[in-house]
């Protein structure tokens, strides 16, 4: 697969043939540098992606980065190896080294609120820095914005003519949540804001669910069909509820699911489009 950032908000993943589609591992809210990050579970899922030659999407908050000298959120809760005068540098460089064995699978790492907070106060873009270090080592990984599109492209040939079919994934780190709804009301909101997306993935609230938003589609010969827009809410790898104390226990109250989504991509054919990409998500725990 070839990964390319073609516009500010558009990254393409192109496959040489429609029969050679690779799956996707989609995760967010890793909080990699936090002592609460379940790196064992994270490694298990990244190793699975590597085994299946899957692309890896990280939708914001890969970093925690709350232990800087002037950060009001700091609680002296950094990993021991990151207690240093060059705290930010240590975290980013260690992360780049830790991710190196997955460099051929990484497709995109986008910004979350933890990264934009650092950029606002320290004037350093940690995701930009991380992606730069990985690309220096030969990775195709692209830096994603807080929101944008990932276009999954299948190349195919029909009657000696080259063509492609685009499966459009819209990502946003996330903003809508709720203790009772767990952010499910965002389905109708995002469905209205991003009507042309085939899949919408969001994180931020550390909830995890899948919901289908079904719409009518009218094709060029006026046939009506049903089209499912898949909404994936991404879990987290930060287990803040192990000890029964701390910020999450006091302010959030509800434990959050750990894990992400593994999405199998396959092709179907019909008389008009010739090739259609079909996504089948499976929750990873």
For 21-57, the pLDDT digits (tens) are 899 999 999 999 999 999 999 999 999 999 999 999 9
Start-to-end CA distance of the chain, whole Å, equals 27
Q: Residue 276 — pLDDT band, cuts 50, 70, 90?
A: confident
Between CA 141 and CA 150, with CA 145 as vertex, the angle to 5 degrees is 60
Q: Residue 76 — pLDDT band, cuts 50, 70, 90?
A: low
190 pLDDT higher than 90: yes
Please report the domains of the chain, with CATH numbers, ordered by start residue.
Answer: 2-284 (3.60.21)
pLDDT at 271: 54
CA distance to 15, 150, 225, 277, per residue, from 198 (Å): 18, 11, 14, 10
pLDDT over 90 percentage in the chain: 66
Strand locations in the chain, DSSP E? 2-7, 10-15, 24-27, 55-59, 106-110, 142-144, 147-158, 161-172, 199-202, 209-218, 224-233, 260-268, 276-284
pLDDT at 270: 63
At residue 213, φ and ψ (nearest 5 deg) are -115, 105
List the structure tokens of 219. 């094709």
Distance (Å, whole) CA 59 – CA 251: 24
Do 21 and 266 touch, CB atoms closer than 8 A?
yes
Name the residue among 203, 179, 174, 204 with its Cα closest to residue 189. Answer: 174
Buried b / exposed e over 238-276, threshold 16 CB at 10 Å, is bbbbeeeeeebeeeeeeebbbbbbbbebebeeeeeebbb
pLDDT tens-place string over residues 156-188: 776 677 777 899 999 999 988 777 889 899 999
Q: The pTM is what?
A: 0.91
At residue 90, φ and ψ (nearest 5 deg) are -60, -45
């Amino acid at each position: 697969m070839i990964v390319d950032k073609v516009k500010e908000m558009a990254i393409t993943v192109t496959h040489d043939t429609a029969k050679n589609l690779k799956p996707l591992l989609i995760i967010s809210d890793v909080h990699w540098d936090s002592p609460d990050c379940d790196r064992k579970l994270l490694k298990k899922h990244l190793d699975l992606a590597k085994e299946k030659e899957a692309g890896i999407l990280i939708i914001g908050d890969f970093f925690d980065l709350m232990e800087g000298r002037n950060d009001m959120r700091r609680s002296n809760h950094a990993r021991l190896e990151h207690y240093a005068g060059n705290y930010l540098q240590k975290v980013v460089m260690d992360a780049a080294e830790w991710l190196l064995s997955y460099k051929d699978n990484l497709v995109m790492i986008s910004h979350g609120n933890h990264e934009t907070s650092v950029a606002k106060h320290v004037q350093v873009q940690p995701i930009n820095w991380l992606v730069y270090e990985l690309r220096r080592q030969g990775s195709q990984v692209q830096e994603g914005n807080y929101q944008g599109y990932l276009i999954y492209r299948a190349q195919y040939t029909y009657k000696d003519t080259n063509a492609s079919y685009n499966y459009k994934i819209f990502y946003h780190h996330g903003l809508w949540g709720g203790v009772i709804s767990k952010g499910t009301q965002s389905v109708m909101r995002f469905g209205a804001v991003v009507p042309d997306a085939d899949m919408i993935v969001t994180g931020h609230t550390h909830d995890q669910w899948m919901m289908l938003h079904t719409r009518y589609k009218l094709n060029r010969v006026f046939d009506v069909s049903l089209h499912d827009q898949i909404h994936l809410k991404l879990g987290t790898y930060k287990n803040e509820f192990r000890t029964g104390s701390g910020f999450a226990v006091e302010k959030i109250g509800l434990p959050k699911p750990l894990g992400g989504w593994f999405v199998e991509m396959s092709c179907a054919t019909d008389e008009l489009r010739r090739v259609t990409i079909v996504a089948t998500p499976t929750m990873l725990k």
